[in-house]
Amino acid sequence: MMKRTHIYIIIVILLCLSALALINNAIYLSMQRNIAYLIFQNKMEVYEGASRQLESTSQMLSAVQTAPEPWNHGPYLVVSIAEHYLWYKQEGKVIFKAPVATGSEKTLVRLGNQQTWRFDTPRGRMVVQDKQEDPIWVPPDWHYVEQSRLKGVTLFHLDYGKTLTLSDASVVSVVGYNVVRRQPNGATQILTASEKKEIILDGMLVIPPLGTTARRYKGVLGPYSLELGDGYAIHGTDQPESIGHSVSHGCVRMYNEDITKLFKLVKIGTPVYIY
């Protein structure tokens, strides 16, 4: 009976020792586990922070990508001076294209008053300001300077109220919208002019005043013209052989069949980018 009690006591003592060891180990493991959980929690917080940032950037990206484009560009014209080419485009796609002639980039200096003209096609942005059918060309002064040089004659600038008396005693003056030559016997003749057929009298090339019929040339600009302002235009030509070259006085020339097609496509207000 005593022996069994002793065995029980020994077992109880062993169980107590075992429980103490297990408690000790459990406390140690619990501390380690808690520290690990703290680190894990910290990592999760960092992850959650990053996740919130991701959500924020995703929303911003989505907002920017789905926002309307800054400006839904309408059709526009592009002219490459170097390549002598014109494109009519919309959103980068070519609707129409054609070869052109552009400014000669030459300089003309008028002796005497030292006036200088530079025949460049202007680079930059312009706008189609007007559309004209059967456009009339009003030659600028440089045209007469060029022609006088080509023909080896001097220039006479005829103004309203001014007269030019010729060697045969006839008098040239402006009557109404016409340049008129009056003979000594009273007979009158309306003088007309066209390209390369200017009024040359007594070795003088007459520059008619602006607004007169003698300063309005038909057919030079082809059947249609797109006016760009400042005297520049995109137009047809009576010199189709000039297309593809740097020969104009700054305007953009096209074949007449091309300007006919383009004229129907382009609206007033269309931007024109020349580079």
Partner 1 sequence: MLSKILVALMGVLLFLNVILFSLNVLYKWEMKQIPSLMTKAEQLRLETISKTKANRMALNMEITRRMAKENTQLHLTVDTTKHLMFLASEGAQLRAMNIKTGKDTLIGSPPDRVRMVLPAGKRLVTNVVDDTYVWTAPAWVYAQRKQRVPTENALKGGLGSLAIFLDSGTVIYSRPEVGPLNDDNYVLPGSIQISSTDVKAIRKAVQAGMVVYFY
Rounded distance, CA 36 to CA 32, Å? 6
- Smallest distance from the beta carbon of 8 to partner 1, in angstroms? 4
Is 251 a catalytic site residue? yes
* 71 forms part of the interface with partner 1 (CB under 8 A): yes
Is 157 a catalytic site residue? no
The interface region with partner 1, picked from 66-74, 156-164, 177-185, 190-198 by CB under 8 A, is 66-74
Q: Closest CB to partner 1 among 76 and 156?
A: 76
Q: Closest CB to partner 1 among 73 and 157?
A: 73
* 36 forms part of the interface with partner 1 (CB under 8 A): yes
* 169 forms part of the interface with partner 1 (CB under 8 A): no
Restricting to residues 73-102, name those near partner 1 by CB under 8 A: 73, 76, 78, 80-83, 89, 91-92
* 46 forms part of the interface with partner 1 (CB under 8 A): yes
- Smallest distance from the beta carbon of 11 to partner 1, in angstroms? 6
* 111 forms part of the interface with partner 1 (CB under 8 A): no
Which residues in 246-273 are b (16+ Cβ under 10 Å) and which e? bbbbbbbbbbbebbeebbeebeeebebe
* 265 forms part of the interface with partner 1 (CB under 8 A): no
The interface region with partner 1, picked from 63-71, 107-115, 212-220, 259-267 by CB under 8 A, is 63-71
Give me the catalytic one of 84, 143, 235, 249.
235
Active site residues: 235, 251
- What is the contact surface with partner 1 in residues (CB under 8 A)? 1, 4-5, 8-9, 11-12, 15-16, 18-19, 22-23, 25-26, 29-30, 32-33, 36-37, 39-40, 43-44, 46-47, 50-51, 53-54, 57-58, 60-61, 64-65, 69-71, 73, 76, 78, 80-83, 89, 91-92, 123-125, 271, 273, 275
